[in-house]
Amino acid sequence: MKVLLIDDHPLILSALQTIIQGLGEHVNVVCASTARQARELLTSDPDFDLVLLDLQLGDANGFDVLLEFRAAYPALPVVVVSASDRSSDVIRSIDLGAMGFVPKRASNSILFEALHLVMSGGIYVPPMAMDFERADDAQSADRSRESHSVVRDAAVANGFQTPLDLRSLGLTPRQNEVLGLLLQGKPNKLIARDLSLSVETVKDHVAAVLRALKVSSRTQAVLAVSQMSHSPGGVVAWSKAG
């Protein structure tokens, strides 16, 4: 696996390089300290499997770089690794096409988990900004509701998504199952296998789900559901496979 790591802080760049190389002996990490250097590297050798991008670069705005790379290299997944863990930054990054957002203060295990999820076709969102975990006690439930409220409010304030009520979507039971597996980051082939459906049928269900959510991509679907799943009346009604 070939990874392009973009960060303008030498110590952080070195530390992240060491951590990412720990993913396996066949991981090759190439570092860039500026957006310009990253562009030159991708132009000369576009055969990268993953990009890790800091939002605060000395010569460019990280969001602009993210948008640029997603347009120029649509098949190349980009994960934002940032000192920020503000929900508005998470939302904006995913909305612009990032396949994950990892705060720099996250543990090595969280970074590994995020990168493995992204490389398998999923989308990683930090739990401190969007908590998809099921609360085990009342205190955890309160924290979860508060977290989703922050994300929902930030999304509305920044004009990214509009909260909806899941029960108003009119999804069929099968579409609910597809939505649940889609939110686990599973590609269409795995969804088809899990539900014993053809890939073409799954594509039709995914398209119907995206239309119901009024979004155009899986990343936007993750955000839309994260906003509505803990809003009043917004009960997620899927059966979680696996």
User: What is the location of CATH 1.10.10.10 in the chain?
Assistant: 138-228
In the prediction, which pLDDT does 219 show? 67
In the prediction, which pLDDT does 179 show? 87
Q: Looking at residues 34-63, what average pLDDT do you find? A: 93
44: confidence class by pLDDT, cuts 50, 70, 90: very high
Give the Cα separation of 72 and 95 in Å (integer).
17
CATH class (in words) of the domain with range 138-228: mainly alpha
Give the Cα separation of 111 and 199 in Å (integer).
31
Q: Looking at residues 186-194, what average pLDDT do you find? A: 88
- φ/ψ of residue 31, rounded to 5: -105, 145
225: confidence class by pLDDT, cuts 50, 70, 90: confident
User: What is the location of CATH 3.40.50.2300 in the chain?
Assistant: 2-119
Length reported for the chain: 242
Q: Looking at residues 61-78, what average pLDDT do you find? A: 91
Determine the residue type at 155. Answer: A
Residue with the bigger pLDDT between 109 and 66: it is 66
Residues of the chain above pLDDT 90, percent:
28
Q: Looking at residues 149-177, what average pLDDT do you find? A: 61
Mean pLDDT over each residue of the chain, to the nearest integer: 76
In the prediction, which pLDDT does 43 show? 94
Tokens linked to 152: 């929902």
133: confidence class by pLDDT, cuts 50, 70, 90: very low
Report the predicted TM-score, pTM, of the whole model to 2 decimal places: 0.58
Dihedral sign computed on CA atoms, order 140, 136, 107, 98: negative
What is the tens place of the pLDDT at every residue in 197-215? 999 999 999 999 888 887 7
Domain 2-119 part of CATH 3.40.50.2300 = yes
In the prediction, which pLDDT does 167 show? 67
In the prediction, which pLDDT does 166 show? 62
Q: Which among 7, 66, 64, 72 has a CA at the least distance from the CA of 43?
A: 72
- Count of Cβ atoms closer than 10 Å to residue 205 Cβ: 25
